[in-house]
Structure 1
């Protein structure tokens, strides 16, 4: 989903979200309207490509919390999906839950956060996963805009750049029952 900047800039005065509704159609809402939407149950707004030779490792994680597969685009996103799945306060989460659009210097910018999670108390968390050494200025601007939007709607925002390796080994073993994968990964780091 991309927006043609010229036609939309005049109309877009604040944040706007685009997501996939329960009937599979594209839905749009303003930021204030977004507070009442169950983004933890939406389908991803974009597909994650998979091709031979790519740098990242996409796949699906079976989330017990959701009793469904959750798509991930990298090992870091897979690790965060596990973290969400093992967090007792999280009642649901979804990958690539919405496109966030905002005006920026005469054009419209967009960003699809990696996850939306719902806590047991009803609050929302928006999560972006990116190793610190791979954050470019354009990414930083998108993360900052996303954090501002979250503050406006009353959600938390979290940027994940990695997890504690011992914790990850333990959770990975609990999630998969295959400790060799995790111990090999620990040795490489």
Structure 2
């Protein structure tokens, strides 16, 4: 069994007065539910789900345990996500905002990075996603399901936006916005048409252009360049 297909090694606690918000996210990438423990994790799940190179994501996939201090002390850590990319490359992801990383957490993340490197996996600890990118991903995620796609409309949209132009002007050229807009948002999610999701909130004036032949991954933070987050 591949790690991206494993179940969670631990559940998410739920109790009165809880400050974080656990839940389940339906990933279009795998057509399966993936768990999250906070809004920050949910934003990263959406980011990963919108990356064409990602083919699978597993939450709480395994637990690492090791000794330190001359073998007298034991520590353990359960990473947040295991990510499989289309080419087979694997990545382990921990989600923790910078201001919440305590020294003990940093030591666990460093140990996890070493363990991942030994088996040929990438490792990354990520924090908050930029607010504009997070808002755009939340909006587009509502249109991620394949049932939204209408191929005749999609074909017309790709033809209209072969030349970059404003979002709403292109939509009106295709037909009734009520019928056309959901398909357009699905094409953004699928990376078949390109918009800048970091620099501005999606609007009627957003410039839509053909998707580049090779797109970069959706950036994870507010400092990511606009060129790397066009989807």
TM-score, length basis structure 1: 0.72
Q: Secondary structure at the match of 1:92?
A: strand
Q: In structure 2, what is the Cα distance between the partners aligned to 1:162 and 1:88?
A: 22
| CA offset digits 1:42-73 (Å, max 9, x no partner) | 00000001112111011111111121111100
1:115 to 81, 84, 109: 81
* Structural mapping, 1:11-160, within 5 Å: 38-105=2-69, 106-160=72-126
TM-score, length basis structure 2: 0.59
Return the structure number with greater relative CO, CA threshold 8 A, min gap 6.
1
Q: Give the C-alpha shift of residue 170 in structure 1.
A: 1.1
Q: Which runs of 5+ in 1 are unaligned?
A: 1-36, 178-185
Give the strand-richer structure, 1 or 2.
Answer: 1
**Displaced runs of 4 or more, over 3 A:** none
Superposed CA RMSD in Å reads 1.4
Q: Give the C-alpha shift of residue 108 in structure 1.
A: 2.4
Q: In structure 1, what is the Cα distance between the partners aligned to 2:60 and 2:79?
A: 6
Residue of structure 2 in register with 1:25 after alignment: none
How many residue pairs end up in the alignment? 142
Q: Which runs of 5+ in 2 are unaligned?
A: 144-200, 202-231
